[in-house]
Amino acid sequence: MNYFDGVILAIISTFGFGATAVLAQSGMQHVKPTSLTLISLIVGALIVFVAAFILELDHISSISIIALLFILVNAVLSYPVGRLFNFIGVKYAGASRASSVIGIAPLITTGFAVWLTDEKLTMTILAGTFLILIGIILILTDNLLTQSDRNSTNKRQIDEFPNE
């Protein structure tokens, strides 16, 4: 595997993450976010356990304690907590808006990567994270403007026809 393989796999993963929000929104018409999260985690864990034991059993037994600690923190923050909050966000904000807000993750990733792994912050990465931030602001502002338009339309209708 090389750099381009990693980029291609990351791009392919976006289809799964993108579909997750829409499928979760559809599923939450019948179950609550916590139930959806539990089912999602159980099914996902089973698939990953089978793949890991088939493909990398010898590597799993040689993981260091420090690496295991990072993996455990990742497991707690990303999967149960992150997925639960994501599904709750999808339920209340909608799939497209909640998924767009999750798009702020590269900003957080960049900060942690620079801080914890001494990754270099280039002008390209800085510009990209800035553009992501602008996109998130536009998405959230659109919702506020839409709400404001609805409120002013409702007020106008009440003022024009107070007691029909």
Q: Residue 140 above 70 pLDDT?
A: yes
Query: Which letter, b or e, does each residue of 93-126 get, where b requires 16 or more Cβ atoms within 10 Å of its Cβ?
Result: bebebbbbebeeeeeeebeeeeeeeeeeeeeeee
The CB-side HSE value for 9 (13 A sphere, CA atoms) comes to 6
- C-alpha dist (Å) from residue 93 to 28, 83, 90: 13, 15, 5
Q: Which distant-in-sequence residues (6+ apart) come within 8 Å of 87 by Cβ? A: 24, 28, 33, 36, 37, 40
Q: Residue 160 above 70 pLDDT?
A: no
Least confident of 39-43, 84-88, 142-146: 142-146
3-class state of residue 129 by DSSP:
helix
Residue ranges of E strands in 10-55:
none
pLDDT of residue 129: 85
Distance between CA 158 and CA 164 in Å, rounded? Answer: 10
pLDDT of residue 36: 92
Q: Residue 132 above 80 pLDDT?
A: yes
Q: Residue 161 above 60 pLDDT?
A: no
Q: State CA 105 to chain mean position distance.
A: 7
Burial (Cβ within 10 Å: 0-12, 13-18, ≥19) of residue 139: middle
79 versus 161: the higher-pLDDT residue is 79
30-48: per-residue pLDDT in tens? 899 999 999 988 998 899 8
Q: How much is the mean pLDDT over the chain?
A: 83
93-109: per-residue pLDDT in tens? 888 888 888 878 888 88
| Local confidence band at 154 (pLDDT 50, 70, 90 cut-offs) | low
77 versus 66: the higher-pLDDT residue is 66
pLDDT of residue 124: 93
**What is the percent of the chain where pLDDT is above 70?**
87
